[in-house]
Amino acid sequence: MAPGRSPTTALLIGLVVTLATVLAYSWYITGQISGLRRLQADLTDRNRMASLQLLRIQNDLNQLGLTMRDMLADEGRSSVGEWSTQFERIRADLEDAVRREAQLTVVVRTPEENRLLDESVAQFAAAADRVFELAAAGREDEARAAIASSLQQRQAALGTAVGRMLVQNNESEEQTAQRVQAIYGQVERQVFWFLSATLIAIAATGLYMIHANRQIFAQLASLSEQRRELAQAMLTTRESTLREISRELHDEFGQILTAMGLMLGRARTHTPEDSPVRAELREIGEIAQTALDNMRGLSQTLHPSILEELGLESTIDWYVSTAEKQLGIHLDYQRDGVASPVDPAVGIHVYRILQEAVSNVARHSGAAEADVRLRFEDDALTLEVQDGGRGIDVGTGRRGLGLVAMRERAALVGGSIEILAPREGGTLVRLRVPLAPATAAA
């Protein structure tokens, strides 16, 4: 991924395409299944109704067969013509059933099969008409002979054809079921492949997102490391600059002011006691001494040389007494545990954090006093500065440069700092710095 390029756009496009594909395919599959259900229902209903019509035809043929049997068995007692009404009624129902079956059947018949069925029905009807014509002409024997020789044969042939059609209907129903199952199988395969493709797309999107996030976090980690190195370099440069300025003040201006004081003292000794110049020289010497004291205090404030000479504990003792005078607040200093030597490179950051915390109490809290607690443990030291002032809203997320610098310094020495709002009010700054085993044991 190119620097500065967000993966959000690609992920959104992938999500939209995936959702659109899922919706479109779901609509397609739903339509296919609905159409399949309608086709299955239509074919099943038509095949069932066609079979009913074939059964109706078979029933009519059976009734005709029974009627012809009765007509032949009733020889000498009644005329064949007397059966015409019943025979015509059954034949009319047969023809209606044949017509309806032709409309409902789902079996694909050849033109030859349709022609043979129609001819069989027509030949049966013609044979029946011939029988009743002979009966109407008084030729009963010929009519009965026609029934036995021709009409019954036509009825048997027609029954055979209808039976064959029933078998075809059953076969068609089985084929329809197989066709439906094949379509269902095809739909299932399509759904399987679609789900597989969708899962692959989701997996690819997830892997891309993981890869993009890892790159982003790597960039953030690199930027964080660069920022920490920059902060360390800036703080180191600042401390080096303050150390140089402190030394210049102490060595150059301190020596100059000291020499001025000595020269003024010698000049005063050579001046008569009652001379007004002697009083002025004494006054100038006092001013020079005050400037020298202020310069030395400023030098220690810029960079406490006492830290390198006497250690962190003595530096904090000196700073507490100095800050009370400079800032006008009372500091209650408490020290616990056995003091351990602290590397000056670590101690200077602890000292600067103490400076910033106490300065914030004087400038922002409105409190007239604060507690400073230094506690040495086996492997760490803890520094706390607590006041009873107006406090700080830790939930606002606003951080001044002082707080940012405090956190940076704590991170540089591998420690942690907390800005808390105690229940009793005010603000508590707690710094915890780990001590190296060799340092702690020294």
Map tokens 């003292």 to a residue. Answer: 265
Please list, in sequence order, all residues whose beta carbon lies within 8 angstroms of the beta carbon of residue 397, skipping any fewer than 6 positions away.
none
Q: Are 400 and 372 in contact (CB under 8 A)?
A: no
Q: What angle do CA 306, 328, 421 make, to 5 degrees?
A: 90
What whole-number distance in Å separates Cα of residue 260 and Cα of residue 180? 115
Q: What is the pLDDT along the chain (442 residues), one digit of tens a residue?
A: 545 556 667 667 777 777 787 778 778 777 777 777 777 777 777 777 877 878 888 888 888 888 888 777 766 666 777 777 888 888 788 888 888 877 777 666 667 766 777 777 888 888 888 888 887 877 878 878 887 777 778 888 878 877 887 787 777 777 777 777 787 778 778 777 877 887 787 788 778 878 878 888 888 888 877 777 777 777 777 767 777 776 666 666 667 777 777 787 777 777 777 777 777 777 887 787 787 777 766 766 666 777 777 888 888 888 888 888 878 888 898 988 887 888 888 888 888 898 888 988 888 888 888 999 999 888 889 999 998 887 765 554 445 677 888 888 888 888 899 988 888 888 899 999 998 754 433 3
- Report the topology of domain 309-441: Heat Shock Protein 90 (3.30.565)
What whole-number distance in Å separates Cα of residue 157 and Cα of residue 61? 10
Closest by alpha carbon to 426, among 384, 390, 385, 373?
390
What whole-number distance in Å separates Cα of residue 6 and Cα of residue 47? 62
Structure tokens belonging to residue 335: 């020290």
Where exactly are the structural domains of the chain? 8-210, 309-441
What whole-number distance in Å separates Cα of residue 125 and Cα of residue 127? 5
> For residue 52, which phi and psi values (nearest 5 degrees)?
-65, -40
8-210: in CATH 1.10.3720.10: no
Q: Are 245 and 231 in contact (CB under 8 A)?
A: no
Structure tokens belonging to residue 89: 């009624």
Entry pTM: 0.48
What whole-number distance in Å separates Cα of residue 281 and Cα of residue 381? 51
pLDDT for residue 395: 52
Q: What's the one-letter identity of residue 203?
A: A
Q: What's the one-letter identity of residue 257?
A: L
